[in-house]
């Protein structure tokens, strides 16, 4: 079920479920911006979410439904300021 924001925009519900620091389920995912075995950065309905750990891999990704499942040793979850839009290359040089 979509949620209304104050400005009339519809957003998908956002949930984060961490199980035993080994399995992470996130809903409300809009885009996976970058990932490797130590870091996953994604845009969610509630802002940019950064997952840090070791041996991280994306088990399931459904952008149609906004669902993501991550396996591996999860050390940290943090929400960060939104990055300016554009390619990572343009942000690197800019």
Q: Residue 89 phi/psi, 5° resolution?
A: -65, -45
Residues 40, 23 contacting (CB under 8 angstroms): no
What pLDDT was estimated at residue 77?
A: 97
Residues 25, 50 contacting (CB under 8 angstroms): no
Confidence of residue 1 (pLDDT cuts 50, 70, 90): very low
Q: Which helix (DSSP H) or strand (DSSP E) does residue 32 occupy?
A: strand 29-35
pLDDT digit string, tens, across residues 43-89: 999 999 999 999 999 999 998 899 999 999 999 999 987 655 555 55
Rounded to two decimals, the pTM is: 0.76
């Amino acid at each position: 079920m979509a949620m209304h924001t104050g400005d009339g925009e519809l957003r998908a519900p956002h949930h984060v479920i961490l199980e035993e620091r080994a399995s992470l389920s996130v809903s409300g995912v809009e885009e996976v911006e970058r990932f490797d075995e130590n870091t996953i950065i994604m845009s969610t309905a509630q802002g940019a979410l950064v997952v840090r750990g070791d041996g991280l891999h994306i088990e399931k990704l459904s952008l149609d439904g906004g669902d993501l499942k991550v396996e591996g040793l999860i050390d940290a979850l943090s929400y960060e300021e939104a990055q300016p839009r554009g390619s990572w290359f343009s942000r690197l040089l800019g």
